[in-house]
Amino acid sequence: MIRYLTAGESHGEALVGIVEGMPAGVPVTASYLDGHLARRWLGFGRGGRARIEQDRIHVYSGIRFGRTMGSPVALRLDNAAYLRDRSGWPEVMSVEATDEPVEKITLPRPGHADLAGVQKYGFDDIRPVIDRSSARETAMRVACCSVARRLLEEFGIEVGSHVVRIGNVSAGDPAPAVDRLIREGGARALYGEADRSEVRMLDSDASRRAIEHIVETRENGDSLGGVYEVVVTGVPPGLGSYVHWDRRLDGLLAQAILSIQAQKGVEIGDGVAAAGLPGSQVHDEILPGLSRRSNRAGGVEGGVSNGMPIVVRGYMKPIPTLIRPLGTVDLRTGEAQPTRYERSDVTSVPAASTVAEATVAMVIANAFLQKYGGDSLDEIRGRYEREREAGP
Ligand SMILES: Cc1cc2nc3c(=O)[nH]c(=O)nc-3n(C[C@H](O)[C@H](O)[C@H](O)COP(=O)(O)O)c2cc1C
């Protein structure tokens, strides 16, 4: 079982992470992790921070000569925003008590964690809530989960994603392009193609319209959400289980998506549409050789992978920080006030899709280790190959 923890505030000095439970012998390099971190910054519609941060991972333990050692992998990512704004932020998020006057933030933004956070922890300043609830944390999550993702790649399991909707602009039916790309090069070809679009869409006409929509929305001082699809290829049948609720792969995938800030819906395969269709148009017929005529189930039946690509959609709400103010209440005075604007994205759906790839990879890696696990890559490979040869 691979576990990971992240710590760090958005405007603190750094984010740190620990990945525990990785088998020994898995090739992992800092540049591999940096590659996935760079993909998290992709996307038209990101705010000022995207231009400031240049994530470079520092690896402190758990990897020797480019391979994991089975010991915890400790990671650090500096917050360039902290270093650049050095004059302001160290006092604002100072670890030591400070005599400097620090302005309190007392206008909670609707849709963000601000009000719920101060109510929960009893703060009279929203800053600590903003700093930890912010999606800057997802950078370390991508780094930690990418360590596990590297294990999957050793077994030909790839995770990719693409954006299917931003605001009211939808890509046309993406299925033919997704099928072609995964036939050509698995989920890696899928994410390679999506990364070429500024909004990570496979449909160039929809990409152009989505960019126009983002520009218009920014001019109106508003924000957008959207939908993306994560696809995992090369998954063997038999990951997860129907025998207990917390071993169901679909349940674990849903948690992985909803654990990401601002993700409010999840769908496996045809999920939402399937609820309105007769069974004959939903279930995937089984063909001789145990292949399927279709993959509407999204690769999971009974909480178990069925050997088809796993397809998970995530639904992201619009970003809560708007240039155009919304109504709120000043926590200091109790009076109605407009919200105040802080540096923010107009939409982060392309970025969220790459974070979702990472969190999905961690779920698949753990399900894989539950079935084929061992202390080293060689041990796992031996088990995997034996079972795959013997399997149906
Ligand atoms: C990749 C990513 C980037 C985000 N960027 C912003 C942002 O710039 N401004 C903002 O207000 N919210 C942003 N969010 C959303 C907030 O972090 C999120 O809405 C907030 O933490 C409250 O959590 P909830 O929406 O799950 O209730 C982002 C989310 C993700 C996944």
Mean pLDDT to the nearest integer, 355-377:
97
Q: Which residues is 5 bridged to in the sheet?
A: 18
Nearest Cα to Cα of residue 197 among 214, 180, 182, 185: 214
Q: Is the pLDDT of residue 51 over 70?
A: no
Nearest Cα to Cα of residue 252 among 166, 334, 370: 370
Per-residue model confidence as pLDDT tens digits over 263-300: 999 999 999 999 999 999 999 999 998 999 999 999 99
> Tokens for 151?
């294990």
Q: Is the pLDDT of residue 364 over 80?
A: yes
List, in order, residues 6 or more apart from 104 with CB less than 8 Å away: 124, 125, 126, 127, 332
Which residue's CA is the nearest one to ligand 1's atom 12? 319
Mean pLDDT to the nearest integer, 310-330:
97
Q: Provide the percentage of residues in the chain whose pLDDT is more than 90.
A: 86
- Measure 72 CA to ligand 1 centroid, in angstroms: 29
Ligand 1: list residues with CB < 6 Å. Answer: 47, 112-113, 133-135, 138, 260-262, 317, 319-321, 344-345, 348, 351-352, 355
The pTM assigned to this predicted structure is: 0.96
| Closest ligand 1 atom to 133 CA | 21
Contact 327, 340 (CB under 8 A): no
Per-residue model confidence as pLDDT tens digits over 15-45: 999 999 999 999 999 999 999 999 998 888 6
- Measure 370 CA to ligand 1 centroid, in angstroms: 32
Residue 307's pLDDT band (cuts 50, 70, 90): very high
Mean pLDDT to the nearest integer, 178-201:
96
Class of domain 3-390: alpha beta
Residue 49's pLDDT band (cuts 50, 70, 90): low
- Measure 112 CA to ligand 1 centroid, in angstroms: 7
What integer pLDDT is reported at residue 95 of this predicted model? 85
Taking the domains of the chain in order of start, what are their residue ranges? 3-390
